[in-house]
Amino acid sequence: MKKIILMAVMLTACLGMGISPKLMAAEKVERPRLVVGIVVDQMRWDYLYRYYDQFVEGGLKRLLKDGYNFDNMHYNYLPTVTAAGHASVYTGTTPAIHGIAGNNYHLNGRPTYCVDDTTVVGVGTTDKVGKKSPRNMMVTNMCDQLRLATDFRSKVIGVALKDRAAILPAGHSANAAYWFDNSTGGFITSTYYMQELPAWVKAFNKENKTQPKEDFWILPKGLTMTTKMAIAALDGERLGRQNDQTDFLAISYSSTDVMGHKYGTRGPKTDEMYLALDKELRNLFEVLDSRIGRDKYLLFLTADHAGGHNAKFLNDNKLPGGQVGYHHKLKKELSEAMKARFGSTRIIDDVMGEQIYLDLDAIERAGLNLDEVKKAVCKEVLKYEGVQYVVPIDELMTSPIPFPIRDRMLMGYCPRRSGEIGIVPRPAYYDYSYDQGTSHSHWAPYDTHVPFILMGWHIGSGHTNRTANITDIAATICALLKIQMPSGCIGTPLLDN
């Protein structure tokens, strides 16, 4: 009787405050059964339309017809490379904050690979390729936030041929990330996640084993292997079908990048790869429809960066482009120039991509003026025809560099990990073979403009041309899931929901 009276009093009080009785009932937060994140390595945005007439029904055409397409999605930092891109998509922030300052950068004064971890060993391999983890990423990502929101009942699995493309999207608290080891011909992981491969992974590797050192990454077979492993993870872990929780499957297709570096953005190899990707996506969507339910999963597709056209292709068609000119010899040539200028060969510590690391301790011991050293280095680098700007990072705010470039350099600079001096090549100028292949890392649209399409659970069809930043993706997914943004997120949700 007392409980009935108490409930009546509470109801009366709520009505008096204008609170609906419906809100008094504890309702479960509605979420999809599964989130599927797809990152296509080096996919240019314009490929969506270049190949549109050749796409099959049910693949990328389905994304464009049934999904919501953000046609003007851009990376907002430098350098636009694989590790930084995957980390930024999933953390909602840039290298300045998440710390993945490139595929390779300096950590504690030493060169390091982005996901190297000497405290772990490989599982499924004895090769050093297994000594990997997400520990170098300094913030959480959307998968971590999903795990937190569900008290770690949600499952998160990352799958890719490249280690960094599986590990960084899956996040710190993932149940597993699986990447490919050529030496064993199968997918592996590390002791960061587990001590032994699950039975389903062992069975997959046995059935799909490749020959050691088989060069299939550059072929459509690499796409097929990735899709098959993703579906095996979907079934092996029963993702989207356990405990009424939302699970997350993070997939990255790496073969598109390997192909682009060798063959460029035009030609039969490129055509073959992207038309094969289209069919792989159709197969994946069909499996998701049958296992999870057509409107029960939320899916997004984007890229970790895009890619420029080959310089010879451009020049043959009377378009500007070329090579920066230093061809991986910049460190040696700078060291020689600094010895002639200052009498020391220890001034240049390292050159990685478009970043120059100075040996600050050596400069101090030699009693040299740091500002004079920086000026001398910049003057020397500007001698290369393909270089447009070179500037000490701590002078960016006062340097005569256009704001869009300056801001991207700032958003990509991570203290104690990035170099002291940044190089900005001329548009369409790269440090790679002139005759064939391409690369990426620039501020320009050909490297920053990537697809972003949402499809599935609670997503209507449509598109927008308004500008969006890659950091908005994680904010958008977290808003749709009603979970907190990642710890370093600077993005803004793109949908009103």
Helix (H) or strand (E) holding 299: strand 297-302
d(CA 103, CA 85): 10
Among residues 452, 474, 424, which one has the least CA distance to residue 77? 424
Pick the catalytic residue from 12, 80, 82, 191: 82
Question: Angle at the Cα of 7 (from 4 to 12), degrees rounded to 5?
Answer: 125
The position carrying tokens 């990537």 is 450
Which SS3 state, helix, strand or coil, does residue 139 take?
A: coil
Residue 308 · residue 446 · CB < 8 Å: yes
Q: What gap in Å lies between CA 496 and CA 201, rounded to an integer?
A: 39
Name which of 391, 433, 3 is nearest 261 in CA terms: 433
Q: Which of 258, 188, 190 is nearest to 220 (CA)?
A: 258
Tokens standing for residue 330: 């910049």
SS3 88: helix
The two beta strands, 355-358 and 186-190, are unpaired
- Token pair recorded at residue 229: 């492993």
DSSP 389: E
Q: CA-CA distance, 186 to 88, in Å (whole number)? A: 28
284 is written with which tokens? 């994946």
140 part of the active site: no
Task: Judge whether 86 and 304 are in contact, CB under 8 Å.
Answer: yes
* Residue with the two structure tokens 């300052």: 101
Give the HSE-up count for residue 51: Cα atoms under 13 Å, Cβ half-sphere. 25
Number of residues that make up the chain: 497
Provide φ and ψ at 179, rounded to 5°: -135, 170
Instruction: Output the CA angle 267-269-273, nearest 5 degrees.
Output: 120
Helix (H), strand (E) at residue 35: strand 34-40
What residues form DSSP beta bridges with 36?
249, 299
Q: Are 87 and 480 in contact (CB under 8 A)?
A: no
Tokens of residue 213, six digits: 């050192």
Q: Could you list the active site residues?
A: 82
